Amino acid sequence: MEATVQLPEALVSRLERLAEQEGASISGLIQRLVADHEQRARPVASRKRDARLPLIDKEKTGVVLPVTGADLDEMFACEDRSF
Protein backbone atom coordinates (compact mmCIF):
# COMPACT_ATOMS: atom_id res chain seq x y z
CA MET A 1 0.00 0.00 0.00
CA GLU A 2 1.26 3.46 -0.83
CA ALA A 3 0.12 6.88 0.32
CA THR A 4 1.09 10.43 -0.48
CA VAL A 5 1.43 12.68 2.55
CA GLN A 6 2.35 16.33 2.69
CA LEU A 7 4.73 16.99 5.56
CA PRO A 8 5.90 20.31 6.99
CA GLU A 9 9.35 21.34 5.77
CA ALA A 10 10.78 21.19 9.31
CA LEU A 11 9.72 17.56 9.62
CA VAL A 12 11.13 16.67 6.21
CA SER A 13 14.47 18.23 7.22
CA ARG A 14 14.50 16.25 10.44
CA LEU A 15 13.66 13.02 8.61
CA GLU A 16 16.47 13.70 6.13
CA ARG A 17 18.95 14.11 9.00
CA LEU A 18 17.74 10.92 10.72
CA ALA A 19 17.90 8.96 7.47
CA GLU A 20 21.42 10.23 6.82
CA GLN A 21 22.52 9.24 10.34
CA GLU A 22 21.17 5.72 9.82
CA GLY A 23 22.47 5.40 6.28
CA ALA A 24 18.99 4.96 4.84
CA SER A 25 16.74 6.77 2.43
CA ILE A 26 13.83 8.83 3.73
CA SER A 27 11.34 6.35 2.28
CA GLY A 28 13.21 3.42 3.89
CA LEU A 29 13.26 5.22 7.22
CA ILE A 30 9.52 5.98 7.04
CA GLN A 31 8.72 2.38 6.07
CA ARG A 32 10.69 1.11 9.08
CA LEU A 33 9.00 3.59 11.43
CA VAL A 34 5.55 2.59 10.17
CA ALA A 35 6.38 -1.13 10.51
CA ASP A 36 7.65 -0.56 14.07
CA HIS A 37 4.50 1.37 14.92
CA GLU A 38 2.26 -1.36 13.49
CA GLN A 39 4.12 -4.00 15.50
CA ARG A 40 3.66 -2.05 18.75
CA ALA A 41 0.03 -1.25 17.95
CA ARG A 42 -0.90 -4.92 17.47
CA PRO A 43 -3.04 -6.10 20.41
CA VAL A 44 -1.19 -8.23 22.93
CA ALA A 45 -3.79 -11.01 22.55
CA SER A 46 -2.85 -11.47 18.88
CA ARG A 47 0.84 -11.94 19.65
CA LYS A 48 2.01 -15.53 19.78
CA ARG A 49 2.57 -16.99 23.21
CA ASP A 50 4.28 -20.29 23.63
CA ALA A 51 4.78 -21.58 27.15
CA ARG A 52 4.89 -25.18 28.24
CA LEU A 53 2.94 -25.82 31.42
CA PRO A 54 3.69 -26.34 34.22
CA LEU A 55 6.40 -23.71 34.19
CA ILE A 56 8.22 -25.35 37.11
CA ASP A 57 8.14 -29.13 37.47
CA LYS A 58 6.52 -30.35 40.68
CA GLU A 59 9.65 -32.41 41.40
CA LYS A 60 11.46 -29.12 41.91
CA THR A 61 8.77 -27.36 43.94
CA GLY A 62 7.17 -30.15 45.93
CA VAL A 63 3.49 -29.94 46.70
CA VAL A 64 2.12 -26.42 46.57
CA LEU A 65 -0.86 -26.04 48.87
CA PRO A 66 -3.66 -23.66 47.94
CA VAL A 67 -3.95 -20.42 49.90
CA THR A 68 -7.37 -19.72 51.38
CA GLY A 69 -8.98 -16.53 52.61
CA ALA A 70 -8.44 -17.73 56.19
CA ASP A 71 -4.71 -18.08 55.50
CA LEU A 72 -4.57 -14.49 54.25
CA ASP A 73 -6.53 -13.24 57.26
CA GLU A 74 -4.03 -14.96 59.54
CA MET A 75 -1.05 -13.48 57.70
CA PHE A 76 -2.47 -9.96 57.76
CA ALA A 77 -3.41 -10.27 61.43
CA CYS A 78 0.23 -10.74 62.43
CA GLU A 79 1.39 -7.84 64.55
CA ASP A 80 5.05 -8.01 63.54
CA ARG A 81 4.26 -8.12 59.76
CA SER A 82 7.30 -10.33 59.14
CA PHE A 83 5.91 -12.23 56.20
Domains of the chain: which residue ranges? 9-45
* pLDDT (average), residues 7-36: 88
Whole-number pLDDT of residue 64 = 74
**Residue 27 to residues 3, 8, 24, 32, 56, Cα–Cα distance (Å):** 11, 16, 8, 9, 47
Residue 62 in this model has a pLDDT that exceeds 70: yes
Whole-number pLDDT of residue 37 = 84
* pLDDT (average), residues 40-59: 70
Residue 27 in this model has a pLDDT that exceeds 60: yes
